[in-house]
Amino acid sequence: MNQKVILVVDDEPKSRQGIKKTIERTYIDQFQVITANDAKEAMERIDHQKVHVLITDIRMPEVSGLELLKQLKTKAQEPVVIVVSAYSEFDYAHEALELGVVNYLLKPIAKEKLMNAIEKAIDVEKQREETGIFSKMIDGKLLEMQQKSKYSPGVEHALDYIEQHFDKELTLKQVASEVHLNASYLSALFKEELQITFSEYVTRKRIQEAKKLLLSTNLTIAEIAEKTGYHTSKYFIKLFKQYENLTPNSFRKQNVSDS
């Protein structure tokens, strides 16, 4: 199991080591705790290692904790942040909160308050991770179409049928027959009401389901192709790459490692 990484940034060695030791003694082997003595070293750490929670002093020489948070906004990764300070000025706290800080602790930090802050930060990080994975699985355009409630009965019936049978062979003629409509008429309805063709809708639905399987199972590409209605993995890979600009394998590797 991969450990969550906590980065402690403070220019005062005693404070920095004190926070590190408190976390390590309380959460034995649960977290990997690393340290930095200033913002520059912290950014170097973040550039080379995934950091899940950042605990930073707000007042440091050269680059302050607030400036560090502003720099983080330009990075691909944004850890959950806890700010610590020997000062209780409202302006500092207010700006820190605007920069997405989940907790603002005053020195000297009580052990219980530090532990509560870390547990809250880990919960936030898990929620972000789950939301991130969900967003990678979902086709925004498909979701938008599925949330609309004003479709003609024939299109509604067709969408329900596709939802239940996307893993089987689906043709326009077959679905039209199931919903008791002429194939040409159903095709025209799809274009008019959904602004995409029947075949594109089916493909988007299948690709979305494939992304869910890629991120939540260890099924092979051939097995996923079969479960999403494709006879050959070659054709499935071609379509997946067309829609996602990545092969299924690359999509899986990239997004599983990100999380």
Q: Residues 187-202: pLDDT tens digits?
A: 999 999 999 999 999 9
Output the CATH code of domain 4-133. Answer: 3.40.50.2300
19 pLDDT above the threshold of 80: yes
Distances (CA, A) of 30 to 1, 7, 82: 10, 14, 18
Per-residue confidence at 128, pLDDT binned at 50, 70, 90?
confident
Domains 4-133 and 140-258 share a fold: no
DSSP state of 77: -
Query: What does the alpha-carbon distance between residue 37 and residue 160 come to, in Å, rounded to a whole number?
Result: 58
What is the pLDDT averaged over residues 212-235? Answer: 94
Mean pLDDT score across all residues of the chain? 88
Q: Which residue has the tokens 């700010």?
A: 83
Query: What does the alpha-carbon distance between residue 233 and residue 191 come to, in Å, rounded to a whole number?
Result: 28
Per-residue confidence at 91, pLDDT binned at 50, 70, 90?
low
- In the structure encoding, which two tokens stand for residue 103, read together? 């907790």
- The sheet with strand 53-57 has its strands ordered as 31-36, 4-9, 53-57, 80-85, 103-106
Domain boundaries, the chain: 4-133, 140-258
Output the CATH code of domain 140-258. Answer: 1.10.10.60
Q: 31 by DSSP, 3-state: which?
A: strand
Query: What does the alpha-carbon distance between residue 204 and residue 143 come to, in Å, rounded to a whole number?
Result: 10
- In the structure encoding, which two tokens stand for residue 247, read together? 């092969």
Judging by beta carbons within 10 Å of its beta carbon (0-12, 13-18, 19+), is residue 63 exposed, middle or buried?
middle
Give me the pLDDT at residue 181, please: 96
Per-residue confidence at 70, pLDDT binned at 50, 70, 90?
confident
Stated length of the chain: 259
Give me the pLDDT at residue 76, please: 62
Per-residue confidence at 93, pLDDT binned at 50, 70, 90?
low
Q: Choose the weakest-confidence range: 11-20, 122-131, 215-224.
A: 122-131
State the virtual CA torsion across 16, 17, 18, 23 in degrees, nearest 10: 100
**What residues have CB less than 8 Å from 60, skipping those under 6 apart?**
9, 10, 11, 38, 39, 68
Judge whether 10 and 57 are in contact, CB under 8 Å. Answer: yes
Cβ-defined contacts of 113-117 (< 8 Å, 24+): 114/19, 114/22, 114/23, 115/26, 117/82
90 pLDDT above the threshold of 80: no
In one letter, which amino acid is 228?
A: T
